[in-house]
Chains A and B, each alone.
Chain A
Amino acid sequence: MADAEEAFAAALRDVIVRYPGRPALGPVDLGVAPGEILAVVGASGAGKSTLLRLLAGLETPSDGTVIRGAGRGRIGFVFQTATLMPWADVLANVALPLELAGAPREVARRRASTGLAAVGLGDRLSTRPRQLSGGMAMRASLARALVTEPDLLLLDEPFAALDSVTRRRLIEDLHRLWAGRKPRPAIVFVTHDVEEAVYLAHRAVVLDAAAGRVVAELASPGVLPRPEGWRADVDYRAAVERLAAELARSMTAIPAADERGS
């Protein structure tokens, strides 16, 4: 991590996206270090999803540059819904990224079944997505995003549609999967839930809809993965309150001076 290029798994530099008939997003300056988990919070319509698509290279900025760090290439993406192909079984869904990249079917399926076992779906290989619960479908989606062993994992409110128990379980799973990889992938996690942001990430940034910019940044206390019962921790509660206040401030829609921290 000597030079600036290597300090990021991915970064946006002065990125602006202009839409016809809507306020522009940006300029945004945002980087995620290798192995770092970054949460992006903001009101709906703040451009959080756009930000992820920019990082994934699925959208091109009107201005500015998108930087991908060394060892680039493999990106995993998890959408708001599980986005599995309903006509294919779970194994085929998870093997898809490898098969699209030209891996032999046998190899792809073997690695996919290993990945599915890691998310607790080892006994559901030939199940159709429609027969999975919401949590299981999202696990399969996570397994698909991880099957290429990405160095950058992008998650767009993946747990928003799940009940709170399933959501907490999936967050623990995500931490476990992240910690189990060598090297650990960088994760950018979009959410509108401040507790989720503080619990899950090393760092959280607030994206303001009106200003179209990052207006606040907050380092999350403690270590990852979280120790048992950490949700009762005073530091955690305080960080959640601080982030909630920042988010509320960003939503009162006064595009004031740039309050970006550090």
Chain B
Amino acid sequence: MSRLLPPLLLTALLLLAWEIACRAFQLPVYLLPPPGAVALSLVHRAPLLLSSAAATFWMAFQALVVAFGLGGGLALAVSLNRSAEQAVRPLAVALQVTPVVAIAPLVVIWAGLDHADRAVVALAAAVAFFPLFSGVLTGLKSADPDLERLFDLYGASPLQRLLRLRLPAALPFILEGLRVAAGLSVIGAVVAEFVSGSGATQGLAWRLLEAGNRLRTADMLAALVCLMIMGLALNAVVGAIEGAVRRRLA
């Protein structure tokens, strides 16, 4: 509780300053609505925002699962062969450094002219792929070399080595990758939704676009607050899982 107090206090202080500034300078609402207006919008549009948040969350979650399957699977396959890793890693890095906004229009053409949600999932998965691939691969190779020797000595099968040594050793790295990927998948989903821009997906990014087009700034900020809360919640959930697993391992 004492750790939550300072950031909450600071937030309240900033909101108060914002509210006072809006009133003192009599700023037009379309330029900068006061926090009170944003709060009102949040309350009035709660059902819509909730269903939009659910849509964005669902797309990001699907992307995370896809990225985990592809990234983790590829890392597992590559970890068994040194030259395979050398071949794949630069490509994975290339995928990672290409800005997601730049690939988005392509993915929309390929996957999603009729199915915008598929394009969103594909793009979010592409963004979430690298930290998972990298985390699993690094983790699988992180086992104590002397423990590896011990498994050699006792003639462990590749499956025994994987299940009893490499996967448990990789777990903290995998969770770390998962945490980064969870945040990225939300970013990817929002960017993809912006680019596809059709309204077919009905996520929070669409709410932002829609409100922006109508100069309803308070509604935009309300959608933004929802995204922020979603990101924080996701981070907290994965962080809690990570903590629990670490405690079990320690």
Residue ranges of A at the interface with B (Cβ–Cβ < 8 Å): 53, 56-58, 75, 77, 79-81, 83, 85-88, 96-97, 100-101, 128, 130, 148
What are 26 A-B pairs at a CB distance below 8 A? A53-B149, A56-B153, A58-B152, A58-B153, A75-B153, A77-B150, A77-B153, A79-B149, A79-B150, A81-B146, A83-B144, A83-B147, A85-B147, A86-B250, A87-B168, A87-B169, A87-B249, A88-B168, A96-B150, A96-B164, A97-B150, A100-B154, A100-B156, A100-B160, A101-B155, A130-B250
Question: Are A96 and B154 interface neighbours, CB within 8 A?
Answer: yes
Flag if B168 contacts A85 (CB, 8 Å). yes
Complex contacts, B155 vs chain A, CB 8 Å = 100-101
Closest 4 pairs (CB-CB, A-B): A100-B154, A83-B146, A87-B168, A87-B249
| B165 part of interface (Cβ distance < 8 Å) | yes
Residue of A nearest to B156 (CB): A100
Residues of chain B within 8 A of A75, CB atoms compared? 153
| Chain B residues with CB under 8 A of A85 | 147, 164-165, 168
Q: How far is the CB of B157 from chain A (nearest CB, A)?
A: 8
Alpha-carbon gap, A56 to B151, bound state (A): 12
Pair A77/B149 contact, Cβ less than 8 Å = yes
Chain B 129-160 against A: per-residue CB contact (8 Å), 1 yes, 0 no? 00000000000000010110111111110001
Closest B residue, CB atoms, query A88: B168
Q: How many residues of B contact A (CB 8 A)?
A: 20
A53 to B149: give the CA distance in the assembly, Å.
9
Q: With a CB–CB cut-off of 8 A, which chain B residues contact A88? A: 168
Specify the chain A residue showing the minimal Cβ separation from B144: A83
**Docked complex Cα distance between A258 and B151 (Å):** 38
Interface of A is mostly: loop
Distance between Cα atoms of A88 and B250 in the complex (Å) = 9
Other A-B pairs, 6, CB within 8 Å; known A75-B153, A77-B149: A53-B149, A57-B153, A58-B152, A85-B168, A87-B169, A148-B154
Closest to A75 in B: B153
Q: Once the chains are docked, how many angstroms separate the CA of A124 from the CA of B34?
A: 62
Q: Which residue of B lies closest to A80 (CB)?
A: B146
B151 touches A100 (CB 8 A): yes
Query: Whole-angstrom distance from the CB of A47 to the nearest CB of chain B?
Result: 16
Residues on A with C-beta less than 8 A from B153 are: 56-58, 75, 77
- Chain A residues contacting B150 (CB-CB under 8 Å) are 77, 79, 83, 96-97
Q: Which of A79, A83, A86, A101 has a CB less than 8 Å from the CB of B249?
A: A86
Q: A87-B168, A96-B164, A130-B250 are in contact. Are A101 and B146 (CB under 8 A)?
A: no
Q: Which of B152, B154, B248, B250 contacts A101 (CB 8 A)?
A: B154
The interface residues of chain A lying within 8 Å CB-to-CB of B144 are 83
Out of A79, A86, A97, A130, which one reaches B146, CB within 8 Å? A79
Complex Cα gap A87–B153 (Å) = 20
Complex Cα distance, B154 from A75, in Å, reads 8
A136 to B195, CA, bound (A): 60
Smallest distance from the beta carbon of A49 to chain B beta carbons, Å?
Answer: 10
Binary interface profile of B, 209-250, with partner A (CB < 8 Å = 1, else 0)? 000000000000000000000000000000000000000111
Chain B residue, CB-CB nearest to A92: B164
Chain A residues with Cβ below 8 Å from B147 are 83, 85
The distance in angstroms between the C-alpha atoms of A148 and B168, with both chains bound, is: 24
Q: Report A101 CB to chain B, min CB distance, Å.
A: 6
Residue in B151, B153, B156, B164 whose Cβ sees the most chain A Cβ within 10 Å: B153
A79-B146, A83-B144 given as contacts; is B168 within 8 A of A97 (CB)?
no
A57 / chain B contacts, CB cutoff of 8 Å: 153
Contact with A along B44-61 (1 / 0, CB 8 A): 000000000000000000
* Chain A residue nearest to B245 in the complex (CB): A87
CB-contacts of B144-200 with A (<8 A)? 144, 146-147, 149-156, 160, 164-165, 168-169, 171
Expressed in whole angstroms, the Cα–Cα distance for A101 and B164 within the complex equals 13
Q: Nearest-CB distance from B203 to chain A (Å)?
A: 39
Q: Which of A81, A88, A100, A130 has the most CB of B within 10 A?
A: A100
Q: How far is the CA of A51 from the CA of B149 in the complex (A)?
A: 14
Give chain A nearest CB distance to B170 CB in angstroms.
11
A100 to B165, CA, bound (A): 11
Residues of B within 8 A of A58 (CB): 149, 152-153
C-alpha spacing A53/B250, complex, angstroms: 30
B146 touches A128 (CB 8 A): no
